[in-house]
Amino acid sequence: MIAVYPGTFDPVHYGHIDIAKRAAELFDKLIVGVYDRPQKRVMFPTEVRVAMAREALADVANIEVESYSGLTVDFMRRHGAQVMVRGLRVISDFELEYQMALTNRRLAPEIDTVCLMTSLEYAFISSSIVKEIAFAGGSVSQFVPPHVERALLELVKRRGEGAVGAAL
């Protein structure tokens, strides 16, 4: 069975990696779908987010990472995916995920949503928190892989020098 784990992954962090690796154990193939046109502003361009996710998940043979635009259910149909994987950290996540699952079910009745509870050690991590820490000068090494930390530090440095990084 093919599953899709969609998100912006801006940037990918250990919570995302935890969900992806656990989902890969449940399904024959997991496609990590990096959404390229989110409503929210992203820090890294799509190709960088894809590259960071690919490197973070390179050790899992049945995971593929690719970008997409448009409806997630249409992306899933193109890949023959039957299940959407979502991660839940806190109760407020459930409300949004429940609404999205019901909407997606209406758009694509053949697709189910499976929510995995984030492992306790990653329950507080979000991409927004990681970015906030990085731009405030704090260390993000415990939240993201080394290659993502380097990319964040470079972006912070460029911003500090007056350059506007990515889509900021």
Query: What residue segments make up the domains of the chain, in order of their start?
Result: 2-121
Q: Which residues pair with 113 in a beta bridge?
A: 84
What is the DSSP code (8-state) at residue 121?
G
Check residue 106 and give left, alpha or beta (phi > 0: left; psi -120 to 50: alpha).
alpha
**2-121 is a CATH 3.40.50.720 domain:** no
Q: What does the pLDDT average to over 6-34? A: 97
- pLDDT band with cut points at 50, 70 and 90 for residue 161: low
pTM here is 0.90
Residue 109 burial (10 A CB sphere; 0-12, 13-18, 19+): exposed
Quick check: 22 and 85 in contact, CB under 8 A? no
Range from 21-30, 58-67, 88-97 carrying the lowest mean pLDDT: 88-97
Instruction: Tell me what percent of the residues of the chain surpass a pLDDT of 70.
Output: 94
93 vs 75 pLDDT, higher one: 75
User: What is the set of active-site residues?
Assistant: 16, 40, 89, 127
